[in-house]
Amino acid sequence: MSEDAIRFLPYDEAVRLVAAIQEEEDVDDPDHRILTVYSHQDKELCWYDFEEVMRDAGVQKNDPDAKEKVSEYVMRHLPDWVLES
């Protein structure tokens, strides 16, 4: 495994850490959307590219399960370095 390989937190630990996943405008690019992940202390933990998550999570347009799919994806892909911040 490369030193640069991303390691993800166990699902149960991610669920305990994450309070909210918020779709937001990228401050550097107003035409780009991101998903920002917040802790229970309202601290920004990390962010994801909106389009990449939608694609990787299998979310289609008007998908009634979009919220659950995105939450599941993020909880399974929360990098372990969020514990350091």
What's the pLDDT tens digit per position in 46-74? 999 999 999 999 999 899 999 999 999 99
7-24 pLDDT per residue, tens: 999 999 999 999 999 999
Q: Does the predicted model carry a pTM greater than 0.75?
A: yes
Whole-number Å distance between alpha carbons of 65 and 56: 14
* Residue 28 included in any domain: yes
Amino acid identity at 58: G
* Residue 4 included in any domain: no
The residues, any chain, with a CB within 8 Å of residue 21's CB and separated by 6 or more, are: 35, 36, 37, 38, 70, 71, 74
Whole-number Å distance between alpha carbons of 51 and 70: 11
Q: What is the residue range of 21's domain?
A: 11-84
Q: Measured at the alpha carbon of residue 24, what is the angle toward residues 28 and 20, in degrees to the nearest 5? A: 135
Number of domains in the chain: 1
pLDDT (0 to 100) of residue 30: 83
pLDDT for 4 beyond 80: no
The token pair that represents 42 in the structure block = 């309202």
pLDDT for 3 beyond 70: no
